[in-house]
Amino acid sequence: MALHPFLIFLIYLFYGAAFLAIGAAITSRRKTFTNLRIAGLFWLLAVFAFSHAFHEWLEMFRHLELPVGGEFSLWLRKGSLLLAFLSFFFLFLFGVSLHGVLDRRTRVWFGVLAGILVVLFVLLAMGRHPDDGTAWLRLVEYDLRRLIGFPATFVTGSGFLLYARRLRGLSARGAGNFAGAGFAFMLYGVLTGLIPSGTMLLVPVEIWRGLAAFFILHFIMYALDLFLDEREAMIAERLKAAARSEKLSAVGRLAAGVAHEINNPLASVSLQLELLHKDPAVAALPDKVMNRLQTIERNIDKSARIARELLTFAGGRQLAERPESVDLARTIAGAWQLAAHRAEGYRLQSDLAAGLTIDGLPLKLEELFLNLFLNAMDAMPGGGLIEVLGRREQDWVVVRVRDHGAGIAPEQLNLVLEPFFTTKEIGEGTGLGLAICYGIMELHGGTIEMAARRGGVGTEVTLAFPRR
């Protein structure tokens, strides 16, 4: 490379510094709290970056042609070649592992490809026997860049592009940065693996490689911010959940006390009414008086039901039984049978994956789906279709319950899970049904989310249970 030594020094200095910065950016990010499945693979990319940085700096000393002995120059070239092999090998491992996380079937094929290319490279290196050791190293370096470097960068780049496509729904900014990193790796692969060192493309190809390395650094640094964003969101969610749990616990204790105090006089009044019904003198009372007694009895029953709901809400987050394997199809069918007294005019359409089971409490889960069915019926007073869909999604069993009712106003979506909040007329609901559902999901380590259906017709309740 016919360049001024100072220019060579600057090119390789910043070239290597870019990769060192990539490794430092990866290792400095805390990925402990992240749920992103690729987080555990980034140490491979960090090893690539650090080893590649030192490889480029050794190349700098080699190209500077310092006044040292030939034996030292030869060992310098061998050390640089070894670091290049190690860096591309770890980059290949990262790319194959990344594809394996996205689709396990491709992991085997990319692994086989990597194995074949490494074996082919070793065989070619062993088959070359020039008398000049420097010429042999030059040929081996050329084979290394073609057979290991170029495929490694393309496997990694394509993996980042596929991951960016999946990430679009979670974070558009994060997806854009991962896509940018993917294209930058592919560009670096072309410049490093297919274009020989010293080639002039208006300027030496080494300058273009350095620029590609800085593009990789830029996109990787911003892509890694996704881990920080997710960590902050997770901490905020945990604080919110803790505050909500403390609030519900306090309300639950209050509800238990109120229910206990209500139940005692209700029991006394119910007993007195039962004795009145047995009294012959009461039977002879006018119809107007009997109607008033019946109204009193109905309101006592209603008050008793409210007291039972308060007690259910208060005890909904206490794990008094041992969890067992629960067949969700059977539980949902049982809950629908319990709602049969109101099921006239309603139809249940269930679409569950085969053998969908979770660890939980059968009676609590039945109560959960019963409450959701009754809520859906309340939303469709004239009857209609209730849909239940269940699937396995990564580490979760996700069940969605949909109705075709009037839906929930957007400003009320964050309130519907609060105890005593109801959209029904006064006296028609206690506002505890969905709060009880929230407590049951919390008991099972899951989550419940309410959302308006697309098109604005109906509501979708999403239940996420941890898989066994």
CATH code, domain with 193: 1.20.1070
Residues 60 and 160 in one domain: yes
pLDDT tens, residue by residue, 344-363: 788 889 898 888 888 888 88
DSSP 1: -
The residue from 238, 269, 304 where one domain ends is 238
The number of residues making up the chain comes to: 468
Is the confidence at residue 32, as pLDDT, over 50?
no
Is the confidence at residue 412, as pLDDT, over 50?
yes
Q: Is residue 23 part of a domain?
A: yes
The per-residue DSSP string of 195-239 comes to: S-TT-EESEEHHHHHHHHHHHHHHHHHHHHHHHHHHHHHHHHHHH
Domain count, the chain: 2
Q: How far apart are CA 404 and CA 398, in angstroms?
A: 20
The average confidence (pLDDT) of the chain is: 75
Nearest by Cα to 358 from 436, 451, 443, 449: 443
Q: Identify the three-state secondary structure at position 430.
A: coil
Residues 209 and 72 in one domain: yes
| Residue predicted with more confidence, 367 or 453 | 367
Share of the chain above pLDDT 70, in %: 69
CB atoms within 10 A of CB 247: 12
Residues 199 and 347 in one domain: no
Residues 193 and 86 in one domain: yes
The residue from 238, 271, 295 where one domain ends is 238
Q: Identify the three-state secondary structure at position 85.
A: helix
pLDDT tens, residue by residue, 276-306: 777 777 767 787 777 777 777 777 776 766 6
- State the average pLDDT over residues 453-464: 79
**399 — pLDDT class (breaks 50, 70, 90):** very high
Is the confidence at residue 248, as pLDDT, over 50?
yes
For 154, phi and psi rounded to 5 degrees? Answer: -75, -40
* Predicted local distance difference test score (pLDDT) of residue 170: 62
Q: Identify the three-state secondary structure at position 324.
A: strand
Contacts of 173 (CB under 8 A, 6+ apart): 222, 226
**439 — pLDDT class (breaks 50, 70, 90):** confident
**21 — pLDDT class (breaks 50, 70, 90):** confident
User: 52 lies in which domain range?
Assistant: 5-238
Q: Identify the three-state secondary structure at position 337.
A: helix
pTM given for the model: 0.49
Q: Is residue 433 part of a domain?
A: yes
Q: How far apart are CA 450 and CA 442, in angstroms?
A: 15
Residues 324 and 195 in one domain: no
Residues 212 and 64 in one domain: yes
The residue from 238, 268, 298 where one domain ends is 238
Residues 357 and 230 in one domain: no
Residues 64 and 170 in one domain: yes
Q: Is residue 353 part of a domain?
A: yes
Q: Is residue 310 part of a domain?
A: no
Residues 24 and 172 in one domain: yes
In this structure, are residues 164 and 171 in contact, taking their beta carbons and an 8 Å threshold?
no
Residues 46 and 144 in one domain: yes
Is the confidence at residue 234, as pLDDT, over 90?
no
| Residue predicted with more confidence, 318 or 80 | 80
Q: Is residue 254 part of a domain?
A: no
Q: Is residue 190 part of a domain?
A: yes
| Residue predicted with more confidence, 205 or 5 | 205
Q: Is residue 265 part of a domain?
A: no
How distant is the alpha carbon of residue 14 from its chain centre?
A: 37
pLDDT tens, residue by residue, 164-189: 887 776 667 777 888 888 898 899 88
* Predicted local distance difference test score (pLDDT) of residue 467: 79
Residues 58 and 200 in one domain: yes
Q: Is residue 347 part of a domain?
A: yes
The CATH number that applies at residue 367 is 3.30.565.10
Residues 230 and 324 in one domain: no
